[in-house]
Amino acid sequence: MRPIIKQAIITSVTAVSCLYITEWFKLPQGIWAVMSSIVVMQADAKATISASWMRIVGTLAGALVGGSFLALWGYHIWVFGAGVALVVMICALLKLLESYRIAAVTVAVVMLTGGSDSSWSTAFYRFLEVSFGILVALLISALFHPSYVYERLRAAGIKFYGKFKK
């Protein structure tokens, strides 16, 4: 099978699985899980894991900053701008340069869509939905790329066993 066809099938299975499961769990905006699963899905499991880590860290930072700013000061255009600036600086200081864009997007989503709900509820659900989409993408990636996962588990098992062998 051609790699692009395989990738199209994997990405489609991931997106449909996320949509189905988020509807089943009645998550408020399952679209974020679906979009996250599509964004992190890569051509191999190693790249998917790397993309997942960067997205989850950025989402957590953005949800915390966006939720905090919304809870403390409510929505105002300058508060929003300060939240975006702060989360980008936090990511830079923590050397999470691959996460700053998704962190800023998460601040925007939390602050611009959180008006009717509590700020922490909006932030929590955004993080939960994105994390759920990433988990689904990781599981499906592992199913379609079992050799990489097997090698990683094997290496971890050898390392773990080696600690007790001494």
pTM equals 0.81
Q: For the chain, 166 residues long, give each residue's pLDDT as a single digit of tens.
A: 688 898 899 999 999 999 999 999 998 888 999 999 999 998 877 888 888 999 999 999 999 999 999 999 988 999 999 999 999 999 999 999 889 999 999 999 999 986 656 878 889 988 999 999 999 999 998 888 777 766 766 776 777 677 666 5
Pair of tokens at residue 101 = 């864009």
SS (H, E, C) 91-118: HHHCCCCCCHHHHHHHHHHHHHHCCCCC
Q: Environment class of residue 87 by beta-carbon count within 10 Å: exposed (0-12), middle (13-18) or buried (19+)? A: buried
